[in-house]
């Protein structure tokens, strides 16, 4: 009889311990911990030109400048971070230039999209030192956003980057992105990428364009 | 054998019951419903629903029968409600193909898909009837033919506001 009571007591104690363990586990789960992403630099000198290129090329209000997108981008060519600013780079239209805070919001959106893949890609690319094409260990194509831009993965916006090059040289959009993934952004390439797309027909000559 | 027949009958019946639901695009239906009824007693036609996203209904999924590639509304002055009548909207696609379309008395313009199907991105410009005023889009459209999807009223962080020919001056008048 004593053994029976002892058994019941032990069983009850075990159950209580199990519940306590489970409760503790529930309250100190993964969401309480910081998850590190080994990503390319976020500082504005390195990512700012990339962010400007991305929002110009992909961040219009009808594409990635929408709150409903997985990959969201902020800037004066599209969605604004400041609720009092309009999607325009010009003050007289209620907007203003893209801000550092918008660059950083775009950065967080981009590196947080596939954090594990971003970590793996950066680990393989950061030794390339800004070379284009990068070293064999660097695989930007593992990232979905690169696949979509290059037309490897289905993309409603179509193929935006031509990895075979444009006008006899590398596509400046690809150079801008890949060198950032190496941690050494080619700012000249990012500036050149702002001229894409180029429309063949100039605006009507007699029109006083704003 | 009877069990197999019963399974087949069950599968066919399930398919018949579920088929109508599989064909309903609830997102599209919601978008159409969100536009509300016709406004101001204007019946469906070229002058109806100024400022609304035309291609929501005229995009091939209904309820409108005519399919547009591009459509929108132009106003005379930024922030004003006066339509820009007779203005010319110039659309250019990335291949260099250009289409000009005038605005009507409601400020509305539209392009039939059968007439012009631009290859995105597109660049746009609007010029007044006398050619004295013009505005060009600072960015470009990447895929949306409904101008009002991005040019919603009022202006805000996700909308440039309605399309206009002239900027409002600081005192609220025309420049």
Would you state the pLDDT for residue A92? 85
Mean pLDDT for A117-146 is 96
pLDDT of A202 above 70: no
Query: How far is A47 from chain B, CA to nearest CA, in Å?
Result: 21
The reply to whether B15 falls in a domain is no
Q: A–B: how many Cβ contacts below 8 A? A: 103
Our CA-based measurement puts residue B30 at a distance from the nearest CA of chain A, in whole angstroms, of 16
Tell me the C-alpha to C-alpha distance, in Å, between residue A39 and each of A108, A111, A115, A116: 10, 7, 8, 10
Cβ <8 Å between A82 and B133: no
Residues A74-79: contacts with CB within 8 Å, 24+ apart?
Answer: A74/A98, A74/A102, A74/A105, A74/A106, A75/A51, A75/A102, A75/A103, A75/A106, A77/B138, A77/B139, A78/B139, A79/B157, A79/B158
pLDDT at A26: 54
What pLDDT does A1 receive?
A: 45
In whole angstroms, what is the distance from residue A195 CA to residue A172 CA?
10
Nearest Cα residue in chain A from B170: A92
Interchain pair B158, A67: CB under 8 A? yes
Per-residue confidence (pLDDT) for residue A146, from 0 to 100: 98
Select from A87, A156, A206 the Cβ nearest to the Cβ of B143.
Answer: A156
B123-156 confidence digits (pLDDT tens): 999 999 999 999 999 889 999 999 999 999 999 9
CA distance A196 to chain B (A): 10
Which whole-number Å values give the CA distances from A140 to A120, A123, B35, in the listed order?
Answer: 10, 11, 43
Establish if B149 touches chain A: CB-CB under 8 angstroms: yes
**Residue A203 banded pLDDT, cuts 50, 70, 90:** low
User: pLDDT digit string (tens) for B64-89?
Assistant: 999 999 999 999 999 899 999 999 99
User: Residue B152: its pLDDT value, please?
Assistant: 93
Q: Which of A201, A207, A209 sits opposite B98 (nearest CB)?
A: A201
Mutate to test the interface with B, among A52, A75, A203 (most CBs of B within 10 A): A203
Q: Is B68 helix (H, G, I), strand (E, B) or coil?
A: strand
DSSP for A3-35, please give it.
Answer: HHHHHHHHHHHHHHHHHHHHHHHHHTSGGGS--
pLDDT of res. A22: 55
Question: Pick from A174, A135, A122: which is nearest to A151 by CA?
Answer: A174
pLDDT computed for residue A24 by the predictor? 52
* pLDDT top residue among B32 and A20: B32
In whole angstroms, what is the distance from residue A144 CA to residue A66 CA?
Answer: 18
When pLDDT is cut at 50, 70 and 90, the band that residue B17 belongs to is low
If you search the block for the tokens 């978008």, which residue do you land on?
Answer: B31
Taking all residues of chain B, what is their mean pLDDT, rounded to a whole number?
A: 88
Does any domain span residue B142? yes
Among A11, A73, A95, A163, which residue's Cα sits nearest to residue B156?
A95
Could you give the strand order of the β-sheet that contains B68-77, starting from the edge strand earlier in sequence? B108-112, B68-77, B163-166
Q: What are the residues of chain A with a beta carbon less than 8 Å away from any beta carbon of chain B?
A: 56, 58, 60-63, 65-67, 77-90, 92-94, 156-158, 197, 199-201, 203-204, 206-210
**Domain-embedded: residue B25:** no
Contact B125 A204 (CB under 8 A): yes
Give me the residue label for tokens 């260990």. Answer: A137
When divided into structural domains, chain B yields a total of: 1
Range of the domain at B85: 44-166
**Smallest CA–CA distance from A201 into chain B, residue:** B96
Does residue B175 fall inside a structural domain? no
Name B161's Cβ contacts closer than 8 Å, sequence gap at least 6: A86, A94, B78, B79, B151, B152, B153, B154, B155
Res A206: pLDDT: 45
For testing contact with chain A, the best of B139, B154, B162 (most A CBs within 10 A): B139
Question: Which pLDDT value is given to residue A205?
Answer: 45
Of the pLDDT bands very low, low, confident and very high (cuts 50, 70, 90), residue B175 is: very low
Write the CA distances from B108 to B7, B45, B70, B86, integer angstroms. Answer: 56, 10, 11, 10
Comparing B24 with B97, the larger pLDDT belongs to B97
Q: Answer whether residue B79 is part of any domain.
A: yes
pLDDT digits (tens, 9 = 90+) for B50-67: 999 999 999 999 899 999
Specify the pairing of strand B108-112 against strand B68-77.
Answer: antiparallel
Which letter, b or e, does each residue of B117-136 get, where b requires 16 or more Cβ atoms within 10 Å of its Cβ? ebebbbbbbbbbeeeebbbb
Cβ–Cβ gap B142/A208 under 8 Å: no
CATH number of the domain at B81, please. 2.60.40
Q: Across chain B, where does the E strand assignment appear?
A: 68-77, 88-93, 98-102, 108-112, 122-127, 134-136, 163-166
Asked if the Cβ–Cβ distance from B94 to A199 is below 8 Å, we say yes
CB within 8 Å: B159 and A67:
no
Selected residue of A199, A205, A206 to mutate for chain B interface (largest B Cβ count, 10 A): A199
pLDDT digits (tens, 9 = 90+) for A66-117: 999 999 999 999 999 999 999 999 988 889 999 999 999 999 999 999 999 9
Residue B172 binned pLDDT confidence (cut-offs 50, 70, 90): very low
CA distance A147 to A140: 8
Strand order in the sheet with B98-102: B98-102, B88-93, B122-127, B134-136
Beta strands B68-77 and B98-102: pairing type? unpaired
B96–A208: do the CB atoms touch at under 8 Å?
no
Residue A180 has pLDDT above 80, yes or no: yes
Would residue B27 count as lying in a domain? Answer: no
For residue B174, is it within any domain? no
Flag whether pLDDT at A3 surpasses 70: no
Largest CA distance in chain A: 105
Report if residue B100 sits inside a domain.
yes
pLDDT confidence tier of residue A198, bands split at 50, 70 and 90: confident
């Amino acid at each position: 009889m004593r053994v029976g009571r002892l058994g019941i007591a032990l069983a009850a104690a075990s159950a209580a311990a199990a519940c306590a363990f489970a409760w503790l586990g529930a309250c100190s789960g993964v969401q309480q911990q910081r998850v590190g992403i080994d990503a390319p630099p976020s500082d504005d000198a390195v990512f700012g030109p990339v962010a400007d290129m991305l929002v110009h090329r992909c961040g219009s209000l009808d594409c990635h400048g929408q709150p409903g997108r997985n990959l969201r981008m902020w800037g004066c060519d599209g969605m604004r971070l400041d609720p009092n600013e309009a999607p325009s780079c010009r003050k007289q239209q209620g907007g203003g230039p893209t801000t550092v805070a918008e660059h950083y919001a775009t950065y967080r959106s981009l590196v947080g999209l596939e954090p594990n893949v971003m970590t793996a890609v950066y680990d393989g690319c950061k030794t390339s030192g800004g070379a284009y094409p990068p070293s064999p260990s660097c695989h930007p194509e593992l990232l979905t956003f690169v696949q979509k831009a290059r037309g490897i993965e289905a993309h409603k916006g179509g193929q935006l980057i031509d990895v075979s090059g444009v006008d006899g040289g590398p596509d400046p959009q690809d150079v801008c992105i890949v060198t950032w993934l190496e941690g050494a952004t080619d700012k000249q390439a990012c500036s050149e990428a702002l001229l894409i797309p180029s429309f063949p027909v100039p605006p009507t000559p007699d029109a006083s364009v704003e | 054998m009877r069990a197999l027949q019963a399974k087949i009958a069950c599968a066919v019946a399930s398919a018949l019951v579920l088929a109508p639901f599989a064909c309903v695009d609830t997102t599209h239906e919601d978008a159409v419903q969100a536009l509300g009824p016709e406004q101001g007693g204007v019946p469906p036609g070229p002058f109806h629903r100024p400022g609304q996203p035309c291609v929501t209904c005229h995009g091939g999924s209904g309820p409108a029968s005519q399919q547009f590639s591009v459509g929108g509304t132009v106003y005379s002055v930024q922030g004003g409600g006066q339509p820009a009548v007779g203005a010319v909207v110039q659309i250019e696609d990335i291949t260099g193909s250009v289409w000009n379309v005038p605005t009507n008395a409601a400020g509305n313009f539209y392009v039939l898909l059968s007439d012009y199907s631009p290859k995105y991105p597109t660049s746009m410009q609007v010029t007044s009837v006398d050619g004295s005023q013009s505005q060009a889009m600072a960015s470009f459209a990447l895929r949306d033919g409904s101008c009002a999807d991005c040019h919603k009223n009022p202006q805000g962080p996700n909308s440039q506001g309605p399309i206009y020919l002239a900027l409002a001056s600081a005192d609220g008048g025309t420049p």
